[in-house]
Amino acid sequence: MIPINVSCSSDCCSTDIKEGVCPVCKTKGHSVKEVTVKRFSKKTLLNDYTGFYFCKNRNCDVIYFKNNGFTLKKKDVNTLVGLKEGKGLLCYCFNKTVEEVKENKEKVIEEIKKKIKEEGCKCEIKNPSGRCCLTDIKSFH
């Protein structure tokens, strides 16, 4: 893994997010920064880590895609993506699991918000989606 030191803003990852459509499942996905794709891709992309989107459809094997149809699938990334797998981590900065969210979503959300205020977060380099987990946790069921 590439060591990168980035911190999200105090309001946690408020960025200009664009949308694309996954070429496999046709689900809308959000843009991810170059640093995120570099961090999680097993493949060397010859410095072409820009222009990617994250597909969050749980039934789709694609993790990252480009508008030209190029994809990086589960086998092409170096971590389990809890949002897509239904197990493992949902919050990569503070190690909150799918199981914890299922048990007590509101408690997990409050713990994450508190930790963000106290410590900040590094969602762009720790979370494969490249953004704050809170949106995904709130809608997770």
- Separation of alpha carbons 85 and 99, rounded Å: 12
Domains of the chain (ranges; CATH) run 19-139 (2.20.25.270)
> Are 95 and 89 in contact, with CB atoms under 8 Å apart?
yes
10-59 pLDDT, tens digit each: 445 555 678 999 999 999 999 999 999 999 999 888 678 889 999 999 99
91-141 pLDDT, tens digit each: 999 999 999 999 999 999 999 999 999 998 899 999 999 999 998 898 877
> Are 90 and 80 in contact, with CB atoms under 8 Å apart?
no
Of the candidates 58, 64, 5, the residue with the CA atom closest to the CA atom of residue 29:
64
Q: Provide DSSP, 48-105.
A: ---SEEE---TT-SEEEE-TTS-EEEGGGBSS--HHHHSSSEEETTTTEEHHHHHHHH
- Look up the pTM and report it: 0.84
Query: DSSP 3-state assignment of 133?
Result: coil
Q: How confident is the model at residue 6 (pLDDT cuts 50, 70, 90)?
A: very low
DSSP conformation class of 127 = S
